[in-house]
Structure 1
Amino acid sequence: MSDDFIRLYDVPLSDKEGVLIGRIIALWGALESEVFVQTLATFDVQDVEKLPNAMNNLSFVKVLELWKARVADVAEGERAIVLKQQFARITHLHDSRNALIHGMWTWSMAEPEKISTTRVSKKQIITMHFPAGSLADFHNELGVINFKIRYPGGVEDHARDRAENGGFISRRALCMLTDSPAADDWLPRLRLQIDKPD
């Protein structure tokens, strides 16, 4: 065995923080993909070269602006309100996303429960702090946004989509049912304590 593991650099993150950051990155990727696909669907173009430059997908912010103009702003009624709210939420979270992706993780002896990232952007040093619980909040908010941009009509939209597309099985369930080696990769489900009314 090599001694490379002795020299393995470890970022100053707890296991929970590492899992949350990984899931945030995956949820953000799903968000960018859905925004791109929905925006692309608004163009009736057979020739890719006729698409606007923003659709080269080099800048998510530019694709997001097109999505707002071509999807959220043309939706009707409650759906328009929901989509515009998601645009505002995505825009608000974008700096936090950049901090997670591009920042160097640090922490202080005075507040070990708080982690921070520091990065340089446009000749500015930017530090963003993530107090205890904020990564879980970020993760949960991204999950809600991902749902709402796909189903702005809520559970009715979701049910309609399931009915139109037939049955569904999650990756987790499929791995468990087929004895896939990946079945052991899932952590036990966390059960939320819900206060029941008296």
Structure 2
Amino acid sequence: MRKLVLLILTICMVCVSAVAMAAKPYKHPDYKFNNVREIIVTEIDNQESRATKSFFCDEAADEKIMGAILEAAARKNLIVEDARNQMQPKGKGQPNHAPTKLEMRVVINNFGYYNATNPGYYETRYRNETRYYYDEDGNLRSRVENIPYQAWVKPQTYNVAVLNASYNFYDLETGTLVASMNATRSRSYENDASSMADRSVRDFFQRILKK
């Protein structure tokens, strides 16, 4: 029994470690982000262009990600400029290793929903039933017994919201990628992935721009 418990704990530790490694962001070793005060959003590239039979794209994915950026920036007192419709000059300047502004580009790989189904099954339930009997003197008596029975639980279909996106910061002067993080999240019984987008962008800002 003790060996089994140790094995389960080991597996759990490995799984937690793998998740932490997958979520670890990239940060350019030459750059410091303590002075960042403004984020220039130049691109939100939605790769999930159409729905399939098993996956339904969120038609407002771009704007929900933009809303998540604004929400996360407000928490850190950052200014956000939406420059997605503006021509962006190619960086040819000198690198600024302690920038006050950063360019942000987002790639959305998946942002939407699919249906999952819990299969039907039988479960044991209990109900009270009155049982009648004659005692040793021939008198009719009754007693209530808690009787088990098998009840059929119907299959249940529910929505699963999924988000897979890449958040990237670039040096405005040179176009160099200075920070990046992939976000993968899913949540069952969810009809709107906005809250997941809010948390993932907030996590990216916190990890990169932490003081």
Q: TM-score by structure 1 length? A: 0.21
Structure with higher RCO (Cα < 8 A, 6+ apart): 2
Kindly name which structure, 1 or 2, has the bigger radius of gyration based on alpha carbons.
Answer: 2
More strand by share: 2
More helix by share: 1
